[in-house]
Amino acid sequence: MDALPWLCGWIGINLAKCRFDIKLPNFLTRPGEPGVKHRVISPINHLILSVKSLNHMRQKWSQTITERARSYWTQERTRQLLGDKKLPLLPGEAPVLLRALGLLKADASLPPERMRKYRQINHMLAAVRPALRELAATHRRVDLVDAGCGRSYMTMLVGWWFRQQGVPVRILGIDRDDKIIGQCRRRVEAAGLDDIVRLVAADLQVDLGAVWERAFGQPLGPLHGLFALHACDTATDDAIVLAVAHRAAFIAVAPCCQAELAAAWARRQQEDPGSPMMPLWGSPHLRRTAAATMTDTYRLLVLRACGYEASATEFVEAVHTPKNTLIRATRRNEGDATAARRYWDLCAVLGGVGIGLGERLLSSGSG
């Protein structure tokens, strides 16, 4: 069930039906009036009672799913689910999170259609966990951004992981889709992560400092990490620009569809029909797949030029998602002029076409 709409609906209906006996203070009752008990709900009392009821409901809901998961996820069922694989997030151990994310059903089972996402987020967590451990070990409190957070799987998963480690963290999820952000705020509350996770509807080309301050009520200090899982097309590059601008210590991006370079190559067919690149430029399928690979290669070079040790790996088997490349980068120095030169050399080899990220982060022809 998505974003627990039933929970919110249930609370809304029950609060609407509720009447409370309230003992009013003396100064609100007229002399001679018999009762100090009134069937009245003032707006303020209503609010207090609503918050109390909501917290109570949340606790009850967490207890119920935890108990159901405890009896459902026997060793045998867990073994059937995972086989010989070791995943960091077991349904029997994180039922509240997984239910709030909409991955577990109300009976605590994990339906086959949610398996793909379950595996994907597990592999992503496993891939970034060493870097998260390093951040947890080196900072008193870790500040992170999930760029293009969408349904906030990673935002909440990472928040949950830090909570398990007992390390203070603040995570800002940004996505331009305000409807999804609204739904996910309820997920965050249901998972009990609303004290450490904030979600904001905004474009990634945003003033991150201002958004952070509005979300957390405190200015953003050094940004420790930024991740972006399948942010569409050049949104991955917007995420990288944000991270580099804020000197993020760690960056993890799993790129999505990439249209920018393929479109530029398609235009180059007309401009330069004699190019040795024509067999590639003229084949839509090869053009698309080669452009995706070359875009990620450019990204590695740009990140290295900006002072990051960067690598690209497969974070989940292709059967789970074809978008399975993970670019990880750790800040090591102030920049690498050789990597910048290699970026421009590669552009020249590939028909003089680079990507916008290169233009944005490297000064033309140099580092």
Ligand X SMILES: C[S@@+](CC[C@H](N)C(=O)[O-])C[C@H]1O[C@@H](n2cnc3c(N)ncnc32)[C@H](O)[C@@H]1O
Binding site for ligand X (CB under 6 A): 148-151, 153, 174-177, 180, 203-204, 229-232, 235, 238, 256
The nearest distance, CB 102 to ligand X, in angstroms, is 11
The nearest distance, CB 40 to ligand X, in angstroms, is 44
Q: Which two tokens stand for residue 99?
A: 């239910």
d(CA 125, CA 97): 14
Mark 139-156 as b/e (b = at least 16 C-beta within 10 Å). beebbbbbbbbbbbbbbb
C-beta nearest to ligand X: residue: 150
The nearest distance, CB 246 to ligand X, in angstroms, is 16
Residue 292 to residues 35, 165, 296, 347, Cα–Cα distance (Å): 75, 36, 6, 14
Cβ distance to ligand X smaller for residue 151 or 304: 151
The nearest distance, CB 141 to ligand X, in angstroms, is 23
Residue 6 buriedness (CB in 10 A; 0-12 / 13-18 / 19+)? exposed
Cβ distance to ligand X smaller for residue 79 or 116: 116
The nearest distance, CB 166 to ligand X, in angstroms, is 26
Tell me the CA end-to-end span of the chain in Å, nearest whole number: 49
Helix (H, G, I), strand (E, B) or coil at 36: coil
Q: Residue 159: count other Cβ atoms within 10 Å of its Cβ.
A: 26
The nearest distance, CB 196 to ligand X, in angstroms, is 18
CB hemisphere CA count around 20 (13 angstroms): 17
Cβ distance to ligand X smaller for residue 152 or 330: 152
Cβ distance to ligand X smaller for residue 108 or 202: 202
The nearest distance, CB 203 to ligand X, in angstroms, is 4
Cβ distance to ligand X smaller for residue 89 or 339: 89
Map tokens 């140099």 to a residue: 366
E strands along the chain, which residues?
Answer: 22-23, 37-38, 142-147, 169-175, 197-201, 225-229, 250-254, 308-314, 325-331
Asked if residue 187 lies in contact with residue 4, where contact means CB atoms within 8 angstroms, the answer is: yes
Cβ distance to ligand X smaller for residue 199 or 256: 256
The nearest distance, CB 263 to ligand X, in angstroms, is 16
Q: Which two tokens stand for residue 298?
A: 């450019």
Cβ distance to ligand X smaller for residue 281 or 315: 315
